[in-house]
Amino acid sequence: MIPASGIVQTAFQSEPYQILWAVRADGQLLGLVFNRQDQVYAWFRINMPGAAIESVAVISRQSQEDQVVIEVNRLINGVSVRYLEYFMPQEIFNQLSNAFFVNCGLQLNLGAAMNITNITNSNPCVVTCPRHNFVNGHFVQIMGVTGTYPDAGHPNGTGMWQVNQDKTEAYTVANSNPSAGTFELQLVDSTTWGAYIGGGTALPVTNEVTGMTYLLGQTVTAVGDQQLILPPTVVTGDTLTFQYYCAQITVGLPYTVTVQPSNPVVSAQANTTRGMRQKLSRVTLSLYQSMGGQYGTDPAHMYDITYGTGTKLQQPAMSTFEVTRDMDADWDDESTFIITQSDPFPFTLRGLVFRMSYDTD
């Protein structure tokens, strides 16, 4: 059977960039970005393995970015279903919390952290947090309460350091009284803790999301509070449970971005490098507000882009910088270079500079 070919539908997006969208008969989506003034024209494609994009539409909105909507035919738990999915804004992400880099995804946002003004030494422990709206049975995470851990000079520590938690921990709310601005920490006895000095926040969190049957049998990934909390995992039920407690969770199908520039050709009036044996010796990548990514000369020789050293459960922050790396490429008739990004984080490549060697014999 001859594979389906041709364009079956098009749509045009004008804001924030001019993009001609085209649905291919084989279920892939093409995009043509162009800028007549700068004479820039570039094609790219969106391929969703195991799914087929069947239709595309663009909704224009006054003083806002145009919204791109696609109809996708997916195989969910052995059954063919069609979803209407829309693209998140193509903004340049200045805050990692705005990032949404999964397909067919959902986002849970439980709200912002609330300032704590007092914590009692009692059983059960009572927290004063004005204007809170915490509900009994829900989880909160307390961080930043003033205090220092025990050391040689202070064998008992200072302040109420014991109350602070990391992302693997959370308290259960009990006897919540929003009008009084108080709630209890269920089954927590703080009578032997240090005295509350000040500071701290209470963040509404959870370690699970429900409603995942719409991706049953699919492999998903999740980001929580700007950090990867779930590597690619198959959905086997309605609920996903995580090792970490978070206030904002984005979950969906992971995908890989691949950038492979054309082979560089240097031409002068008298000669050209086209047809010469060549070797890629060094490359410089210019990145903007990015995290993650790999580079290499072919899929078998890829290296992580290094942003700095993180700590446990802490990704290096988004970075804007240029990274220069020597390459271990061999002499070849045509040099190749590949950049990939499989992590669900922002990755904006502003430019590439190659250093090439040519065999002129």
State whether 172 and 77 are in the same domain.
Answer: no
Chain Cα centroid distance, residue 73: 24
Residue for token pair 């927590």: 188
Q: Domain residues for 349?
A: 257-359
Tally of domains within the chain:
3
Residue range 296-340, pLDDT digits in tens: 888 888 888 887 654 444 555 788 888 888 887 778 777 788 999
- List all residues 6 or more positions away from 269 whose beta carbon is below 8 Å from its beta carbon: none
Backbone angles phi, psi at 340, to 5 degrees: -130, 155
State whether 198 and 271 are in the same domain.
Answer: no
CA atoms of 201 and 198, how far apart (whole Å): 10
Among 200, 229, 255, identify where a domain stops: 255
State whether 180 and 38 are in the same domain.
Answer: no
pTM flag (> 0.85): yes
CA atoms of 44 and 349, how far apart (whole Å): 14
State whether 112 and 216 are in the same domain.
Answer: yes
CA torsion 80-86-91-94 (nearest 10°) is -70
Among 90, 116, 151, identify where a domain stops: 90
State whether 82 and 137 are in the same domain.
Answer: no
Residue range 67-124, pLDDT digits in tens: 999 999 999 999 999 999 999 887 666 677 777 899 999 999 999 999 999 999 999 9
3-class DSSP assignment, residue 215:
helix
State whether 82 and 95 are in the same domain.
Answer: no
- Per this entry, what is the length of the chain? 361
State whether 115 and 68 are in the same domain.
Answer: no
Q: What pLDDT score does 315 carry?
A: 53
C-alpha closest to that of 318 among 301, 341, 351, 299: 341
Q: What pLDDT score does 1 carry?
A: 46
Segments of 3-153 assigned E as strands: 7-13, 19-24, 29-35, 40-46, 51-59, 67-76, 79-86, 103-109, 114-115, 118-119, 125-128, 139-145, 147-148
CATH code, domain carrying 141: 2.40.30.180
State whether 251 and 266 are in the same domain.
Answer: no
CB 305 within 8 A of CB 323: yes
Q: What pLDDT score does 311 carry?
A: 42
Among 56, 90, 124, identify where a domain stops: 90
